[in-house]
């Protein structure tokens, strides 16, 4: 036992708090309780559990603090932001815990370790870094996690239950459950006990799971499509995205894409000729625009603009659906063919690249695709129009991020990564040209992939995962950060395979009990079409796409669209029906 009058006694607890529970006298405990009360009076959002110890020599400057029972904060620790811990958590001497940090039960943080749940913006080269806005995604640590000394954990990281992080590591991506990681950047070295399900597999094991999935999807494809078909009174009918929804132009095209991908034919019950005739009839002969449908399946009037938010995607989905069916648009896309180079630049300059980079990428995608369809019909655009599109994108890509637009303080990199996918898909990918800054693009996409708000399995959507997978696939030939990309692809692939719902396909958003019944969580044609393509891209990044027995040929095709046409390759596709 220590003597409470011994001046060395407080220092013992400050730097070695684990002695407090066995050696503290009544006076030591009374002094600690008074200190804790003083802390709680100073912070409205403070709560300290039973038998905790906080060194008076720690800099506790939190806006919110919740310590679970039997937790301690040692001398020299520096805490800001919001910290919430479970029971038996420890913050050892000189550790730094800043931003929004959540610890589970039994988390041990070594001396001189830093959990930094915030980041400085640095994208604007003309503004000093310290003057640029800060972002914070938060750090989440699971139960029974041991973090060694001198570790750095960056913002947006999730460390799952039972993980161990070796001393001196720099953690730049999520740590799986029961993984033992170390290094800069930290990598999985081994596992505590048997590897978790899905982690012990070799590439061959993963290939087997992909083959089993693809066989299931093929066997159920007709049922997935049939549940979304609404027969018409005249013997025809229309597809809806999901049962109970209205008919849309996109739903007809998604059905064509799914049937082609999995079955090598047009979707039942209508014949390919019937579906070709319908899609071609929907095109306005004067503008080339395909108008939207109302709830009764009747077409709405088209506008006078080259394309609108309501009709722009139809240039993509209808064009590719017709191509898969062995046909093409009935008329040139006149509204786009009329654009001069000056018109293109004027439109691009007027787009809200800072406020809504996804919409801007969508616009570039639509324009690039529309010009491509005209070229496939040997209808040339106005002189310099296509060059103006590529030239503007090349000269306005951020050399630091490789993207267009600026990350958002609220949404992180998601809007600009998603906008990059759309803009690059319809231009560089579709025309077979390299993107401006491939390595910077990889850095940005991998950084975004660490944001658990968009990549945690229960929060995934088809858009958000496709917008990660496709840019990484598009830049794969650089070999840059290849090992990290393969690891991420395998992780996201394992998640994606679990989203399939037997007989119904994929929902746009990953299933979760808290969102059951919401429109985006209902399996349908859009989700199925997108996730099938995502799975191929992830599998190809992981080196096992051959196990699927399919390769996208439509709107998400990996090859440039100007290389050949699907009308000349339908015999090859039909051969897949015997697989």
CB contact at 8 A, 239 and 525: yes
In this structure, what is the dihedral angle of CA atoms 3, 6, 7, 11, given to the nearest 10 degrees? -40
| DSSP-derived 3-state class of residue 16 | coil
Query: Of 424, 407, 529, 519, which is closest to residue 473 (Cα–Cα)?
Result: 424
Is 19 known to be catalytic? Answer: no
**Residues in Cβ contact with 547 at an 8 Å cutoff, skipping those fewer than 6 apart:** 206, 207, 208, 210, 211, 214, 539
Q: Tokens representing 165?
A: 């992080």
Strands 96-103 and 78-84, bridge-based pairing:
parallel
- Backbone CA torsion sign across 239, 241, 243, 248: negative
Q: Distance between CA atoms of 565 and 375, rounded to whole angstroms? A: 12
- Beta-bridged to residue 98, according to DSSP, are 116
- Taking each helix axis from N to C end, the angle separating 525-541 and 249-263, rounded to the nearest 10 degrees, works out to 40
CB contact at 8 A, 405 and 419: yes
Residue 30, Cα to own-chain centre: how many angstroms? Answer: 51
Is residue 200 packed enough to be buried (19+ CB in 10 Å), middle (13-18) or exposed (0-12)?
exposed
Query: Of 102, 95, 177, 107, which is closest to residue 139 (Cα–Cα)?
Result: 102
Q: Distance between CA atoms of 579 and 577, rounded to whole angstroms? A: 6
| DSSP notation for 243-275 | TTSPB-HHHHHHHHHHHHHHHSSPPSSS-HHHH
Alpha helices for 18-100 (secondary structure H): 20-23, 26-42
Through-space distance between the first and last CA atoms of the chain, rounded to whole angstroms? 77
Query: Of 57, 72, 68, which is closest to residue 21 (Cα–Cα)?
Result: 72
Phi/psi at 100 (5° precision): -95, 110
Give percent helix, percent strand, percent coil of the chain, each to the nearest 5: 45, 15, 40
Residue 309, Cα to own-chain centre: how many angstroms? Answer: 23
Q: Distance between CA atoms of 540 and 485, rounded to whole angstroms? A: 11
Kindly name the residue from 33, 120, 286, 396 that is annotated as catalytic.
Answer: 120
Helices and strands (DSSP H and E) totals, the chain? 19, 21
DSSP one-letter code for 428: I
| DSSP-derived 3-state class of residue 190 | strand
CA separation, residue 450 to residues 91, 138, 158, 174, 468 (Å): 24, 11, 8, 7, 11
Residues known to be catalytic: 120
């Amino acid at each position: 036992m220590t003597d409470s009058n011994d001046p060395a006694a407080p220092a013992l607890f400050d730097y070695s708090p684990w002695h407090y529970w066995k050696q503290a006298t009544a006076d030591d405990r009374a002094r600690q309780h008074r200190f804790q009360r003083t802390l709680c009076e100073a912070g409205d959002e403070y709560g300290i559990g039973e038998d905790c110890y906080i060194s008076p020599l720690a800099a506790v400057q939190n806006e919110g603090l919740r310590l679970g029972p039997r937790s301690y904060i040692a001398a020299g620790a520096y805490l800001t932001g919001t910290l919430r811990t479970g029971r038996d958590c420890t913050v050892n001497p000189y550790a730094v815990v800043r931003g929004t940090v959540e610890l589970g039960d039994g988390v041990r943080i070594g001396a001189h370790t830093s959990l930094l749940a915030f980041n400085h913006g640095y994208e604007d080269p003309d503004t000093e870094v310290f003057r640029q806005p800060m972002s914070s995604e938060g750090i989440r640590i699971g139960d029974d996690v041991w973090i060694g000394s001198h570790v750095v954990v960056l913002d947006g990281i999730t460390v799952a239950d039972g993980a161990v992080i070796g001393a001196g590591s720099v953690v730049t991506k999520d740590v799986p459950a029961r993984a033992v990681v170390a290094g800069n950047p930290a990598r999985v070295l081994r596992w505590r006990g048997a590897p978790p399900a899905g982690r012990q597999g070799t590439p061959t094991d993963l290939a087997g799971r992909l083959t089993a999935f693809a066989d299931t999807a093929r066997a159920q494809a007709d049922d997935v499509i049939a549940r979304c078909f609404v027969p018409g009174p005249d013997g025809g009918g229309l597809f809806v995205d999901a049962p109970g929804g209205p008919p849309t132009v996109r739903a007809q095209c998604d059905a064509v894409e799914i049937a082609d991908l999995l079955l090598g034919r047009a979707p039942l019950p209508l014949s390919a000729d019937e579906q070709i005739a319908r899609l071609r009839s929907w095109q306005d002969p004067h503008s080339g625009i395909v108008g939207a449908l109302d709830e009764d399946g009747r077409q709405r009037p088209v506008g006078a603009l080259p394309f609108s938010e309501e009709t722009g995607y139809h240039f993509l989905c209808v064009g590719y659906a017709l191509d898969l069916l062995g046909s093409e648009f009935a008329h040139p896309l006149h509204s786009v063919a009329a654009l001069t180079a000056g018109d293109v630049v004027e439109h691009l300059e007027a787009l809200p690249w800072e406020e809504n980079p996804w919409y801007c990428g969508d616009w570039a995608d639509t324009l690039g695709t529309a010009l491509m369809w005209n070229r496939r019909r040997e209808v040339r655009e106005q002189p310099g129009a296509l060059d103006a599109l590529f030239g503007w994108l090349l000269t306005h890509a951020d050399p630091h991020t490789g993207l267009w637009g600026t990350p958002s303080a609220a949404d992180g990199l998601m809007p600009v990564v998603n906008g990059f996918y759309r803009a690059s898909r319809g231009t560089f990918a579709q025309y077979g040209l390299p993107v401006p800054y491939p390595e910077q693009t990889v850095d940005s996409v991998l950084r975004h992939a660490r944001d658990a708000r968009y990549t945690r399995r229960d929060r995934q959507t088809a858009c958000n995962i496709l917008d990660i997978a496709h840019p990484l696939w598009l830049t794969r030939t650089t070999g840059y950060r290849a090992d990290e990309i393969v690891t991420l692809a395998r992780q996201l692939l394992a998640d994606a395979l679990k989203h399939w719902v037997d007989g119904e396909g994929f929902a746009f958003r990953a299933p979760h009990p808290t969102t059951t019944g919401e429109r985006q969580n209902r399996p349908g044609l859009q989700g199925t079409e997108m996730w099938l393509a995502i799975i191929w891209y992830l599998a190809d990044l992981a080196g096992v796409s051959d196990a699927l027995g399919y390769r996208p040929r439509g709107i998400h095709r990996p090859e440039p669209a100007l290389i050949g046409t699907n009308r000349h390759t339908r015999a090859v596709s039909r051969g897949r029906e015997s697989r």
